[in-house]
Amino acid sequence: MQKDLLKLLDLTKEDIIKILNVADQMKYNQKHGLTHNYLQGKTLAMIFEKNSTRTRVSFETGMFQLGGHALFLSGKESQIGRGEPIEDTARVLSRYCDGIMIRTFGQDEVETLAKYASIPVINGLTDFAHPCQVLADLMTIREHKARLEGLKMCFIGDGNNMANSLIVGGLKCGMDVSVACPEGYDPDRKVLDFAKTVTGSKFQLCRTPEEAAVDADVMITDVWASMGQEGEKAAREKAFAGFQVNDALMSLAHEGCMVQHCLPAHRGEEITAEVFEAHADEIFDEAENRLHAQKAVMFLLMGGEHA
């Protein structure tokens, strides 16, 4: 494993599978009342420059369940929000804490934090990548389908952090990946270049949801306008018209195709209420698995001799 979790591009297939295996064990332990205080006495600094529900609650709960403690640091209330260089924050927090989780805008900020920190740094979300969410997605897919290799994953929507991380994670785990985005909303060029280097798995970038959805085993979508893009809402509604996971689209997928959504969901936009409710168990398994996947990451990065 790397010292940090900054993006899935940094991990090998073996790294990803190791995290998923540990996450499965963490989930089993919790469900069977088995305690695992592997991070007893350790502290995670959580920096939030973007608001959150699932990220904050799952990391804070996960640290508690592992015997450690999490500190919430709002970007507005910390010295980062007053202009302190990120490299200085990294060196200060390294003297106090055992790990840092950051949820922010620029990937460069996370990379700089990790460069100057002497403790593990975990990317809780940037505009480029959402590795923790996609680890939870892969965990959920494997739970429901009993494998990853050979399945087809389809993503409908914006070529955003979710699309970037799903492409990388899916292809590295031996899945075929198809993505449908309107013109001008493609995934990051670094990710598309990576996809060209992959052998044994197929990647498609499509302009219609219908083309991407054919024979899918997993259908995934996300909101049309992510946090920080609220001013683009009208333009995005026009661009993404038709890029909706609905019954007609699901009929093109394999029978038993599952649905994933990182939440929050805008019913009637990127997904219909009918499809969402029909697959709600899968979607909320995915949400729950953020807890277990992140506990696995924290254990492997911060667990010392236990890991």
With residue 131 as reference, give the H or E element that holds it: helix 131-145
161 is in an annotated binding site: yes
pLDDT band at 45 (very low <50, low <70, confident <90, very high): very high
Which of 65, 98, 107, 133 is the catalytic position? Answer: 133
260 is in an annotated binding site: no
* Per-residue model confidence (pLDDT) at position 193: 98
Residue 119 pLDDT > 90, yes or no?
yes
Correct CATH for 133-287 of 3.40.50.150, 3.40.50.300, 3.40.47.10, 3.40.50.1370: 3.40.50.1370
**Closest by alpha carbon to 114, among 141, 94, 143, 137?**
94
Which of 154, 290, 292, 294 is the catalytic position? Answer: 290
CA distances to 222, 248, 282, 306 from 142, rounded to whole Å, are: 20, 25, 11, 25
Q: Name the DSSP class of 31.
A: H
In the chain, count H helices and then E strands: 12, 9
Q: Rounded mean pLDDT of 137-153?
A: 98
Strands (E), the chain: 43-48, 69-74, 99-103, 121-125, 152-156, 176-180, 203-206, 218-221, 258-261
d(CA 244, CA 267): 10
189 is catalytic: no
User: Which amino acid, one-letter code, is at 197?
Assistant: T
The contacts of residue 44 (CB under 8 Å, 6+ apart) are 59, 63, 68, 69, 70, 71, 97, 98, 99, 100, 101, 298, 302
247 is in an annotated binding site: no
Q: HSE on the CB side for 53, CA within 13 Å?
A: 6
227 is in an annotated binding site: yes
Q: Residues 64, 70: contact at Cβ < 8 Å?
A: yes
In tens, the pLDDT along 191-217 reads: 999 999 999 999 999 999 999 999 999
Which of 4, 176, 222, 285 is the catalytic position? Answer: 222
103 is catalytic: yes
pLDDT band at 232 (very low <50, low <70, confident <90, very high): confident
Q: At what angle do helices 161-172 and 189-197 cross, to 10 degrees?
A: 10
222 is catalytic: yes
63 is in an annotated binding site: no
d(CA 115, CA 121): 9
133 is catalytic: yes
d(CA 253, CA 247): 10
The contacts of residue 4 (CB under 8 Å, 6+ apart) are 10, 114, 120, 121, 122, 123, 301
58 is in an annotated binding site: no
98 is catalytic: no
130 is catalytic: yes
* Per-residue model confidence (pLDDT) at position 227: 66
91 is in an annotated binding site: no
The CATH number given to 8-130+289-306 is 3.40.50.1370
Which of 130, 142, 236, 261 is the catalytic position? Answer: 130
Weakest-pLDDT range from 79-83, 138-142, 299-303: 79-83
189 is in an annotated binding site: no
Q: Name the DSSP class of 98.
A: S
* Per-residue model confidence (pLDDT) at position 83: 78
Q: Where are the domains of the chain?
A: 8-130+289-306, 133-287
In tens, the pLDDT along 54-83 reads: 999 999 999 999 999 999 998 776 767 667
CA distances to 31, 41, 51, 102, 257 from 279, rounded to whole Å, are: 22, 39, 26, 30, 10
Do 8-130+289-306 and 133-287 show the same overall fold? yes
**Closest by alpha carbon to 165, among 4, 51, 1, 8?**
8
